[in-house]
Amino acid sequence: MASKKYIATPTRTNEILNKYQFFFKKSLGQNFLVDVNILGNIIREAGIDKQAGVIEIGPGIGALTEQLAIHANNVIAFEIDQRLLPILEDTLDGYDNINLIHQDILEADVHAAIKANFQPEQAIHIVANLPYYITTPILMKLLREKLPIVSITVMIQQEVAARMAAEPNSKSYGSLSIAVQYYTNAKVVMHVPKGVFMPKPNVDSSVLKLTIKDTPPVDVLDEEYFFTLVRAAFAQRRKTLKNNLTNYFKGTFVKEDINMILDSIGVDGARRGESLTMTEFAKLANAFFLRQENI
């Protein structure tokens, strides 16, 4: 493969786009990577080796897919844009360890795809350059489905990556940080300049690595309730925890009830959501859940 002209160069990408008269669809958030070194760094950070199975989302014209096929055992790639299927058949011709799936990842049965394409003992990773407009729904679907995977390494908008990896008492910390870190250890592993994309995006990019936790870091009585209460605590960031919860529980609990529950778990209602750790949010959610169950 050493002499092969890789897809991820400006020249080769332009050749492919011109050959197929392909135009970018803004609605699909298409920005193709044109730097092989960046792709190599992503694959290294993801921990991909020749035994690994990889799931890619949105392969585009195959720049990352090609590099994954070289470094991994086998790859499945979900592509929603039908116009790209014949292009991918062409650009990835010669790689027999890639299975292209024409499907929206948000509607896909990923468990079934894993069972059909990978060995039970295989380490499976998700690696993708995600469409920025739909990053969060995709990642939350993948995490909440509790797939048998080791990690998720994705190129996403820098600001969103910062939010997902944020710690308490930072301006980026919020309900998204807690949702992602409930399932994973989140780490921003690299920043990527706009110039390595075609076309150049309007925002800066980062690569985020999510390493799946064996078990959640906190015990919650009801996961859905926990996530809902966390979102409520951040509904208006400038408001105190007590004010946000009073607003959310309107019609269920009066202020006195909310004060009593907060006091019972030792959480000061005058604090803001961004100051609470995940452990404190778990105590909060469990206390409100039990109280609501007993009303």
Residue 47 annotated as binding site: no
Domains of the chain: 10-212 (3.40.50.150), 223-293 (1.10.8.100)
Min mean pLDDT across 23-32, 63-72, 128-137 is at: 23-32
The pLDDT score that the predictor gives to residue 201 is 83
How large is the average pLDDT for residues 95-118?
A: 98
The pLDDT score that the predictor gives to residue 27 is 59
Residue 33 annotated as binding site: yes
User: DSSP labels for 51-78?
Assistant: T-EEEEE--TTSHHHHHHHHHSSEEEEE
Q: Give the three-class secondary structure for 283.
A: helix
Q: What is the pLDDT of residues 236-286, one digit of tens each?
A: 999 999 999 999 999 888 899 999 999 999 999 999 999 999 999 999 999
Residue 104 annotated as binding site: yes
Distance of alpha carbon 293 from alpha carbon 295, whole angstroms: 6
How large is the average pLDDT for residues 192-204?
A: 89
The pLDDT score that the predictor gives to residue 246 is 95
Residue 41 annotated as binding site: no
Min mean pLDDT across 7-16, 17-26, 127-136, 249-258 is at: 17-26
Task: Sort 145 into a burial class: Cβ within 10 Å, 0-12 / 13-18 / 19+.
Answer: exposed
Residue 24 has pLDDT above 90, yes or no: no
Residue 31 annotated as binding site: yes
The pLDDT score that the predictor gives to residue 186 is 98
Q: What is the pLDDT of residues 148-164, one digit of tens each?
A: 999 999 999 999 999 99
Residue 268 annotated as binding site: no
